[in-house]
Amino acid sequence: MQSKQGQAGAVRLFSLLNFFWGFWGTPYSLFVAIYLSQAGISDSGIGLLFGVNSLMGLVVAFPSGLLSDRFNPKRAMLAGLVLTAPFYLAITFTDSFFLLLLIFIIDSLGANLYGIAADSSMYRAIETTKGKAFGVVHLLLNFGTAGSALLSGYAIATFGFRGLGFIFLIPAFILGALVTKIPRATVKVEHHSLGEYLGDFRKREFLLLAIAAALLAYHWGAEKTSFPLYASNFLHLSSAQLGLLFFFNLLIYAVAGLLAGNMVELSKHRTRLFILGLLISAAGALLYSFSYDFGSALLARILHDSGDGMLGVSLMLAIAAISSKGRMGGAVGAITIVYIIANFVGAVASGYINQYLGYATAIQFAASLTLASAAVLAIAVKGGISRSPFRHD
């Protein structure tokens, strides 16, 4: 059993890692699509770039999980940072679609290599009061994203996107320094056969989690290609307004996750909390698709991100509980593959829906799949088809 001091140290370290990772990653989902649109890339082309970026993670997802179980994941985290750190700067040096595609592929390899190793290390390191601990980690991650959203909007307005690329090398360097501080005990590894991993993946609760997560993750693909472009091209918000909008949204997302973590720790109804989060998320997305100015968009996104905040911590708990500690990397890799496929479909499909049917239609379709995730989970658990993946340990 881990000591209280060891638990507190792990929470602090991974909270800082997630803060700077969230800070670094924010412009990818909030501003890169807008930059590419202004650079002359079509909506369908933008969707394809984001889709390939998501899909290429399949190359490293499960192998990275296995490596983090068998070897020291710190090296994978550092290698991933080296690959992905120059992304924002690199895309400003070309308007060639094929060169942009190569840059998006390299970024995907690096981001997935880092993310899977970091997550599997965190799930192994945090052993007790997981709801509260994951709530704190979630809070710091999204404080990073919220602060970054605000800074990015003003930085782009002042220095342009290339200036943002230079500025955002700083959090990448800080991340590298923090990775070297991960204690050796935190990355203690074990050896398991492939058959043991497959046994975990055949469990009904794992399959149920995969289906529910896939339907939900479609909207994260749509987030990249539809939500920002709706605000920019339909609502005609400025870069500063976009930064302010995303700042408030992510602040709510962060706080909602912290509150959800504390609720989950005490609740006997984790599945109901997750379904409630899905319903709130979908309702907010639908309202956003009917927004007409900054104020209405802000209110709708606050509702949407309140639901997403509840979902974020609940998914962390489910992944932590779905597999043994020694095979955590494999579980993280497998669920990441589900996310990647759903993100790819969401990004590419939303790009084409944006181009031919409009941004609002793409957002509404994503919301309908989030509602389908709630229905699948409720029917499977209520009907006795599967145990809930959101159970107590």
The Cα 124–Cα 29 span in angstroms is 28
Residue 136 has pLDDT above 90, yes or no: no
Least confident span in 6-15, 85-94, 165-174, 343-352? 6-15
Q: What is the mean pLDDT of residues 334-348?
A: 83
C-alpha pair distances (Å), 227 with each of 104, 123, 164, 257, 290: 20, 31, 21, 21, 12
Residue 152 has pLDDT above 50, yes or no: yes
The Cα 391–Cα 268 span in angstroms is 8
How confident is the prediction for the chain on average, in pLDDT? 82
Comparing 256 with 282, the larger pLDDT belongs to 282
Residue 216 has pLDDT above 90, yes or no: no
Q: Is-contact 176 84, C-beta < 8 A?
A: no
Distance of CA 326 to the CA centre of its chain: 23
Residue 81 has pLDDT above 90, yes or no: yes
Comparing 346 with 9, the larger pLDDT belongs to 346
**What's the pLDDT score for residue 200?**
66
> First and final CA of the chain: distance in angstroms?
15
At residue 363 the predicted structure's pLDDT band, cuts being 50, 70 and 90, is very high
| Length of the chain measured in residues | 393
At residue 393 the predicted structure's pLDDT band, cuts being 50, 70 and 90, is very low
**CATH 1.20.1250.20 fits domain 4-382:** yes
Q: What is the mean pLDDT of residues 21-38?
A: 86
**What's the pLDDT score for residue 173?**
92
Q: What is the mean pLDDT of residues 282-296?
A: 93
**What's the pLDDT score for residue 367?**
93
Long-range own/partner contacts, residues 193-200 (CB < 8 A, 24 or more apart): 196/327, 197/66, 197/327, 197/330, 197/334, 200/322, 200/323, 200/324, 200/327, 200/330, 200/331
pTM over 0.85? The answer is no
Q: What is the mean pLDDT of residues 230-235?
A: 88
